[in-house]
Chain A
Amino acid sequence: MGQALQGDGLTTKINVGPIHPSTHGVLRLVVELDGDEIVNVEPHIGFLHRGVEKLMETRNYMQDLPYVEKLDYVAPEAYSEAYISAVESALGVEVKERAQYLRVVLLELQRIASHLLWLGTFLNDLGHFFTVFMWAFADRDKILRLLQEHAGARMFYVNMRLGGLNRDVPPGFEEEVLSVLGDIEKRIPMYESYLEKNEIFMERTKGIGAISSHRAIELGVTGPVLRASGVNFDIRSSKSYYVYDKLNFKPQVVSSGDVFARYKVRMLEMKESIRLVREAIRHMPPGDAVGMPIRLIIPAPKNKEVRVYRETPRGELLIYMVAGQQGPYRVSFRSPSFINLAALPEIAKGAHYADLFAILGSLDLVIPDVDR
């Protein structure tokens, strides 16, 4: 990397967005530049605000599921599961054992799909690695087909029910999952060798947008961005839910903290997810996984407060809910995308303008989750 063109102290402001191919949705950034160096980035959010939390108060518990899924449309399964487990703990419903394993399978499949989508779009942002976009989407499509076989929809599944799922998996589902995972497991080393032997990719990612582990904790970044800075923190192990502790889940940590580390963490997480799905399928008990019918809802204890933490593909999600009679009295989300976006000005400071989109892409933001 050459030296950035230094100006004479006079800064230029550049407007990026709100409609821009690399902002992954509708995000507006006002970038202040000194020469080619970023002095400050100011994100302007709210272009997709639609008042989800208020709308959810007017619906009943099960009607809210599609709203939650549309918060983070890259990993809808993770969000609907987090919401349904908040409702479960408010109403005091136990999850059936087979359903716990099946939920882990679905969640981890969703995580692989989400990381594959990230890989494709991130490399598209970096320059023109359109090949990887095609490869990653072909692989993601296989997983979406699996999820479609269970839920019946390609993107918004709404297959979580209180205490289980809406139906058990179709016969032969496990074998199909294993064969698809075998395919993807072969493809991951292909991505890695294609990218890590590519000088342009290494130049554009290594040492760009680095944050130290101390600073990462102070900024409060979550998920793969935090683990790329060498902090061993994953809700799946530190506040384990379902059967993650039985499956010997290990958080994937890389210490360098730059854009390359964030890429590496996601690749390692995909491998770990493949292992987890295999383990879960091996140990899955037979039995019933079907949850309660939609109409059968026990009235919740009055003003019961619930907090649920979940590790979504983008990081730690907190759902705070005050339970009402038929629906939530108040729901609030602490979404990982919002927290990671808040760290962008700090991470991007001092980088070249051309690297802004590498950094923005590496945070893996979903803007409707930020705006709500």
Chain B
Amino acid sequence: MTTEFENAEKEMSRLVEASLKKYGLKPNVLFARLSDITKAASSGLITWSRKNSVWPSLFGLACCAMELMDFGSARIDAERGSYLLFRATPRQSDVMIVAGWVTKSIIPEIKRMYEQMMKPRYVVAYGECATSGGPWFESYNIIRGIDQVLPVDVYVAGCPPKPENLFAALLKLQKKIGGNIEG
């Protein structure tokens, strides 16, 4: 694997230098070489930046969405953590917080939303319903937990869990992205 990387690195450097020569430019520090990128990846820079920009999507299904709104409002103010920023589109977000019960008719929409998210993507099951079906576990139209459809990273218990619990869950997710917890 490493030799492949090194070969690619040499090849890329050669190409960069050739193209610079062609246009009569001098190699400059402003041009990042592939070796720099691979070094950064190995030193954990990418992991670090992923860890510190966990953007949840604005997506609520049911009651737990009220607490999700409270999470973003004045008392907790999620965005003061400076690494959380609620986005209204899945294309810009990293974390999907599933807040509410999951019905059979909404599964295709959730799957489509999940597929629109960029990799690496994470899922937090917020509340009883998203974890296990909650009080509706006997209902014919409910699936018993979002983990039957999507891979879940963090579960939050409670009906509904307090906003503080979500903060704790996202801190746990941050640790997980950093590789401190085995997934």
- Kindly state the separation between the CA atoms of A305 and B135 in the bound complex, as whole angstroms: 27
Interface residues of A in 275-320 (CB under 8 A from B): none
Asked if B61 contacts A120 (CB within 8 A), the reply is no
The count of residues in chain A whose C-beta lies closer than 8 Å to any C-beta of chain B is 31
CB < 8 Å neighbour of A137 from B61, B75, B138: B75
| Known contacts A18-B109, A141-B70; A48 and B101 CB within 8 A of each other | yes
Interface residues of B in 93-111 (CB under 8 A from A): 100-101, 103, 105-106, 109-110
Asked if A137 contacts B70 (CB within 8 A), the reply is yes
- Kindly state the separation between the CA atoms of A303 and B61 in the bound complex, as whole angstroms: 36
Asked if A50 contacts B74 (CB within 8 A), the reply is no
- Kindly state the separation between the CA atoms of A74 and B75 in the bound complex, as whole angstroms: 18
Q: Is B12 an interface residue (CB 8 A)?
A: no
| Known contacts A50-B103, A155-B160; A368 and B62 CB within 8 A of each other | yes
- Kindly state the separation between the CA atoms of A155 and B62 in the bound complex, as whole angstroms: 13
- Kindly state the separation between the CA atoms of A70 and B61 in the bound complex, as whole angstroms: 12
Closest to A17 in B: B109
- Kindly state the separation between the CA atoms of A66 and B136 in the bound complex, as whole angstroms: 11
Give the shortest distance, in Å, between A323 (CB) and chain B (any CB).
22
Asked if A137 contacts B135 (CB within 8 A), the reply is no
Stretch touching chain B among A1-9, A19-27, A103-111: A19-27
Asked if B66 contacts A141 (CB within 8 A), the reply is no
Q: Which residues of B contact A141 (CB under 8 A)?
A: 70, 73-75
Give the shortest distance, in Å, between A372 (CB) and chain B (any CB).
11
Q: Is the interface of B mostly helix, strand, loop or mixed?
A: loop
CB < 8 Å neighbour of B63 from A73, A120, A135: A73
The count of residues in chain B whose C-beta lies closer than 8 Å to any C-beta of chain A is 33
Closest to A69 in B: B63
Q: Which residues of B contact A249 (CB under 8 A)?
A: none
Interface residues of B in 52-89 (CB under 8 A from A): 58-63, 65-67, 69-70, 73-75, 88
Closest to B88 in A: A21
Asked if B105 contacts A47 (CB within 8 A), the reply is yes
Give the shortest distance, in Å, between B129 (CB) and chain A (any CB).
9
Closest to B58 in A: A21
Asked if A55 contacts B138 (CB within 8 A), the reply is yes
Give the shortest distance, in Å, between A337 (CB) and chain B (any CB).
13
Asked if B105 contacts A19 (CB within 8 A), the reply is no
Q: Is B159 an interface residue (CB 8 A)?
A: yes
Asked if A26 contacts B106 (CB within 8 A), the reply is yes
Asked if A25 contacts B61 (CB within 8 A), the reply is yes
Which 5 A-B pairs rank lowest in CB-CB distance, beginning with the nearest? Answer: A137-B73, A73-B63, A138-B74, A50-B139, A134-B74
The chain A residues found within 8 Å of chain B, CB to CB, are 18-19, 21, 25-26, 46-51, 55, 58, 66-67, 70, 73-74, 117, 120-121, 133-135, 137-138, 141, 154-156, 368
Given contacts A50-B142, A66-B135, A155-B66, 10 further A-B contacts (CB under 8 A): A25-B61, A26-B61, A48-B61, A48-B62, A48-B101, A48-B106, A50-B141, A55-B139, A70-B63, A137-B74
A-B contact pairs, 28 of them (CB 8 A): A21-B58, A25-B60, A26-B61, A26-B106, A48-B62, A48-B100, A49-B103, A49-B105, A49-B141, A50-B136, A50-B142, A70-B135, A73-B62, A73-B66, A117-B66, A120-B69, A121-B69, A133-B73, A134-B73, A134-B74, A135-B74, A137-B69, A141-B73, A141-B74, A154-B162, A155-B67, A155-B160, A156-B159
